Amino acid sequence: MGNYLNPGNSGFEGIRNDVYVDKTGLISLINRSIDTPRRLTCISRPRRFGKSFAAQMLCAYYDKTCDSSKLFDDLIIAKDEKYSVYLNKYDIIYLDMTNVMSEAGKSGIVPYIKRKITEELVDAYPALKADSESFTSTLVNAVELTGNKFVAIIDEWDVPIRETVDHPGVQREYFEFLRALFKNSGATNKIFAAAYMTGILPIKKDGSQSAISDFEEFTMIKPRKFGAYVGFTEEEVKKLCHDHSTDFEKMKQWYDGYAFRGVDSVYNPNSVMKAIHNEDFDSYWTQTSAAESLMGYISLDFDGLAKTVAELIGGIAVEVDTKGFANDLVTFRNRDDVLTLLIHLGYLAYDEETQMVYIPNEEIRREFAKTIREVKRDETIRRVKESNQLIYDTVHRNAEAVAEQIEKIHAEETAVIFYNDEQALRSVIKLAYFSYKDYYIKFEELPAGDGYADIAYLPKKNSTLPALVIELKWNKSVEGAIAQIKNKHYPDAVKGLGCDVLLVGINYDKDAPAGKRKHECVIELLQ
């Protein structure tokens, strides 16, 4: 076994020794691509979404220098008709680019890779004729000697792109290396039965075309058939929670929220496992190296970005155009490029059907809420202060001030929210109260009494704040809103919390006479 040639199965063996969620169905997808025009696969995922685990699993399955049957015979892949056909049948070229970078340094990546793989090939096959002028020829010679093609597995392939921003020559050399291996169809087909690359970013666009465009890409925006392997599915999490006596509903609230076509719920796998091992629901995001600084991205000076971040924190999904993103960490033309990067980093979830982004779960909301207070942008700071003041005015029953702030938010947001019904009014309310997470838990259409309360903010545990039950009306009256709260017994939902309850009625009358306030508010303490 070597470091770069045939690394063996010890990595996956260690994974199997811990709590393990069976993701070997991914192997079936790669098997279908072997020795076909679809043999090159590139998967992009956020950090801590299981990319390296998958790479080690593939090494263990394909590496011909070990017997991995005991690691796979009881797993899903063993039921695949091609299971034994490809099990431990190939020479593996395995590159963990994070490790390569630390060993080789920024300027010597490509020479280091060529030297190390050649050395290990010659050690394994002393009869091999190594070509000092052409690394590709050396690999062709190895295949001819052994009668066996390679499977290439490149983990964190984009590290040299992300970490050599100030060294364009290094990036060009690295791209040329990949192009020589994977864009030369004749040599590629002779050398590789399959190739599997993982990274955070999709393949970098080099000029007018991708540097290695023959790879089929599966990203956080379009994972396609790999959607179930982005993270843990809901059924997998339910089983974990059952097996470890963990509260599933809390797990869902904290770490669910990503969804792809054909896969309704996808959970952050690292955070789920941390919650189970630690027996504690917490934000484990900051305890990883997952973030290129969130603050740095959301504080970029693009029109509408601060407002968009406020909408996202308030629970509003926002439309995004992902097509122009350059697939790097430095080329941003507008707010859409920033949002697209945050999708790839896992900070935002993307709905392919609606082309909207949203904050997926409690863990990420906390990261945004914490970061937003550190962003040095006047617009963002103003929005935080105004939202905190609105909560203060509501709690202290200053209905006039509440109506004024709702009116102000309405005026600022008319360009993006078509304000003509109660649903649109609800969007403005959520945006106005976007800093609620410090104090409350928000419920929309909370089942209560004889119907559903439009929005309810319930105070967090040990808080002395009152609960807020908000009823929204459009072209009606605030008195009617309060009457509906009482008549339909909406406050029943908060009985037993041991706190005061404020009834908040808000109405928007677009047909009111000129000069009359368009937004009205009444706040009553429930007796």
- DSSP assignment letter at 38: T
SS3 34: coil
At residue 107 the predicted structure's pLDDT band, cuts being 50, 70 and 90, is confident
d(CA 527, CA 510): 32
Selected residue with higher pLDDT from 88 and 449:
88
> Mean per-residue pLDDT for 407-411?
81
168-204 per-position pLDDT tens digit: 888 889 988 998 999 877 889 999 999 999 999 888 7
452-496 per-position pLDDT tens digit: 777 888 888 777 899 998 888 888 888 888 888 888 888 877 777
**pLDDT for 332:** 87
Confidence check: pLDDT of 299 > 50? yes
What percentage of the chain reaches a pLDDT higher than 70? 91
Average pLDDT, the chain: 87
Residues 344/328, Cβ–Cβ less than 8 Å: no
Residues 6+ apart with CB under 8 A from 239: none
112-163 per-position pLDDT tens digit: 999 999 999 999 999 999 998 899 999 999 999 999 999 999 999 999 888 8
Confidence check: pLDDT of 218 > 90? yes
Identity of the residue numbered 104: A
Residues 6+ apart with CB under 8 A from 310: 380, 383, 387, 431, 434
**pLDDT for 290:** 42
Residues 6+ apart with CB under 8 A from 390: 401, 402, 405, 432, 433
Confidence check: pLDDT of 205 > 90? no
Residues 446/493, Cβ–Cβ less than 8 Å: yes
177-186, 282-291, 317-326, 459-468: segment of lowest average pLDDT:
282-291
**pLDDT for 209:** 43
Residues 315/427, Cβ–Cβ less than 8 Å: no
Which helix (H) or strand (E) covers residue 425, if one does?
A: helix 422-432
Burial of 154 per CB tally in 10 Å (0-12, 13-18, 19+)? buried
At residue 417 the predicted structure's pLDDT band, cuts being 50, 70 and 90, is very low
Tokens of 183: 């864009």
> Mean per-residue pLDDT for 209-228?
86
Sheet with strand 150-155: strands edge to edge: 91-96, 150-155, 192-199, 40-44, 216-218
Confidence check: pLDDT of 94 > 90? yes
Proportion of the chain in helix, strand, coil states, percent, rounded to 5: 45, 20, 35
At residue 295 the predicted structure's pLDDT band, cuts being 50, 70 and 90, is confident
Instruction: Kindly list the structural domains of the chain, giving each domain's residue range(s) and its CATH number in brackets, ordered by start.
Output: 10-218 (3.40.50), 232-376 (no CATH), 412-525 (3.40.1350)
**pLDDT for 373:** 67
51-55, 231-235, 328-332, 352-356: segment of lowest average pLDDT:
328-332
Inter-CA distances, 106 with 76, 155, 157, 168, 439, Å: 40, 17, 14, 11, 47
Confidence check: pLDDT of 260 > 90? yes
**pLDDT for 423:** 67
